[in-house]
Every structure is written in C-alpha cells, then in structure tokens.
Amino acid sequence: EAEKPPAVSNGDLRLGGKGKKLRKPRTIYSSVQLQALNQRFQQTQYLALPERAELAAQLGLTQTQVKIWFQNKRSKYKKILKQG
C-alpha cells in the first residue's frame, strides 16, 4: 500500500491527519538584525508596506518576520507601559 502524504488542514501540516501541528522553527534573529529592528522601532512603531519591504531586504528577513517582530515589540512595549 502506498504511503499517504501528510494531511493539510487549514494550512497546518499534520501527520496522518492527527496529532500536533508541525510548526516552523522559531526565528533566531542575529544581533545585527535585532539592533537594526530596535533602532527602527525607536524611530517609528509602525511601518508602511514599502518601509517593511525595504527593511526586510536589508536585513535578509521576510516581510512577515519583520511584521511579526514589530507586532510583538509593540505588544511588549504597551505591556511595560501599563505596568508603570
């Protein structure tokens, strides 16, 4: 019997259609990338699409990685402000 390919449901890859989702590994940012991202965040907390594309290209990241980094950073920043 031929082996069945992994089932894809909602964009999530699952082995045999059951079990835990297989996720992409967590992105490890280099110190140079983090420095550039933090520096840009200090200038502006929100990036326009062209700015995001340019920054991603400069740092060798995907636009999605840059977008999510900024989302997480804004969330963390707001949490710290809320705590005082």
CATH of the domain at 45: 1.10.10.60
Least confident of 7-11, 21-25, 36-40, 49-53: 7-11
In this predicted model, what pLDDT tens digit does every residue of 42-84 receive, in sequence order?
Answer: 999 999 999 999 999 999 999 999 999 999 999 999 999 999 7
Give CA angle at 23 (6, 53), nearest 5°.
120
pLDDT for the residue 24: 84
**Is 66 inside any structural domain?**
yes
Residue 60 structural domain = 31-83
pLDDT for the residue 20: 79
**Is 2 inside any structural domain?**
no
The secondary element (H helix, E strand) that includes residue 13 is strand 12-14
**Is 43 inside any structural domain?**
yes
Domain tally, the chain: 1
**Is 49 inside any structural domain?**
yes
**Is 1 inside any structural domain?**
no
